[in-house]
Amino acid sequence: MAELKPFKALRYKWHVLSDVICPPYDIISNEMKNDLVNISKFNMVNIEVPIASTTQANPYIQASNLLHSWQIDKILLRDQKPSLYFYEQIFEHNGIKITRRGFFSLLKIDNNFVKQHEQTIEKHQTDRLDLLRTTKANTSPIFVLFEDTTNVIVNICIEIAKKLPQAIARDHNGTFHKLWVIYDEKIIYLILEYFRSKIVFIADGHHRYKTACIYKNTEMLKNANSIVNTKHPYDYILAYFCPMEDPGILILPTHRVLDIPLNIEQTITKYFDIYNTTRDFNKALYKLSDDTQSLMVFLNGTFRIITIKKKSLLKQFMPNKSQSYRNLAVSILHNILVQNLKATQFIYVKSDKEALLLARKTGKMAVIVPSVPIKCLKDISLHNEMMPQKSTYFYPKIASGIVIRTL
């Protein structure tokens, strides 16, 4: 089943890392990048989202050069023992303080036991592949979930969190990060054995995982004459593991803004029941969502919640999909409400208020969706189905640079 492996991480030499960590590449705007670079020239954003310099025109080579020079200058130090790295994030959502706990390890790339649920965007995949090939490093982990119904790993995380951490940070969103380096052989053995009977589910980082798969395949061709069953660095990827039972799991929706499709009113009338609503639509949106989720459409100044008229339509439009897949608002959006649109035709927005404001300003249409339940994510992954791009948004993001793995 899932195979984990401790490793000797590269880590910043400092105890407080607030100035040098950054979010994952896909949520870093140009403005945020400039802010992070201005805070510290050693911020991981310089490698995570590299740009060309006056002396190096290739941004990926520039990233590789920086990673090398930071090790030479002892900005980044390598741990002496193979370890697992326990990680805690404390954050607020809607005024409530939440803690999420898990750990970093290497994860063997194996599509039989590492389940995906979301489609990817080709340009992001190409970018991550170029960075991986050049730096030969994982600066940002994938985020995976696993079942821990008896709280074996949950309880280990709670006990470790009572100790003093090796590194701490507070990011630009106010999330507080703590890291513990664990090389205790008994704890490592217990965790590795626990996962020998587990499947893991990718929550975040599908592009990074697919990139690692491509990289592995190309390296295997180069090493075609190597000894069979020999394990190589490219067989593994840096991953953050979090139990599905952890109370800090928070999945937020990603809303869509798009050009108004032709015949959209006919589509809505034909396939959906319509409920007029106001700006205070969220309670109504979730209240109407039983097994089959509803959507809120903002079009020409009007707010409407729409629900599918007949369950049989779900099977008609998504004949080869599981019931969990069919019930999701994002599936109904992409397969019935607006069909055959490319990912590039949508603007993806985290805030419903921002989506509505953008739609008003541009004369476009906004579609507000509820979040994906974790049970549906698991079911869809087990059926080897792929949801549309940007279907889930796990909050908060895992910091890039908190631990670094080199191949």
| 290 has pLDDT over 80 | no
| Cβ pair 219, 168 in contact under 8 A | no
Q: For residue 329, tell me if it sits in a domain.
A: yes
Q: For residue 94, tell me if it sits in a domain.
A: yes
238 and 272 part of one domain: no
Write out pLDDT tens, residues 45-67.
Answer: 999 999 877 788 899 999 999 99
Pairing status of strand 393-394 against strand 96-108? unpaired
- List Cα–Cα distances, 244 to 102, 154, 241, in angstroms: 10, 10, 10
87 and 224 part of one domain: yes
Q: From 135, 132, 393, select the one nearest 237 (Cα to Cα).
A: 132
287 and 219 part of one domain: no
Domain range for 339 is: 254-370
Strand segments (E) across 231-280: 236-243, 251-252, 255-258, 272-276
Pairing status of strand 251-252 against strand 272-276? unpaired
Q: How many residues does the chain have?
A: 407
DSSP-based three-state secondary structure for 20: coil
Rounded Cα distance, 267 and 323, in Å: 22
Q: For residue 389, tell me if it sits in a domain.
A: no
| 289 has pLDDT over 70 | no
The per-residue pLDDT for 117 is: 84
Give first-to-last CA distance, the chain, whole Å. Answer: 23
Write out pLDDT tens, residues 137-168.
Answer: 999 999 999 999 999 999 999 999 999 999 99
Which pTM was predicted? Answer: 0.90
Backbone angles phi, psi at 326, to 5 degrees: -65, -30
Q: For residue 383, tell me if it sits in a domain.
A: no
Give residue 243's pLDDT band: very low, low, confident or very high (50, 70, 90).
Answer: very high
246 and 258 part of one domain: no
CA angle 122, 144, 212 (to 5 degrees): 40
183 and 147 part of one domain: yes
Q: For residue 182, tell me if it sits in a domain.
A: yes
Q: For residue 8, tell me if it sits in a domain.
A: yes
Number of domains in the chain: 2
Write out pLDDT tens, residues 95-136.
Answer: 999 999 999 999 999 989 999 888 777 778 889 999 999 999
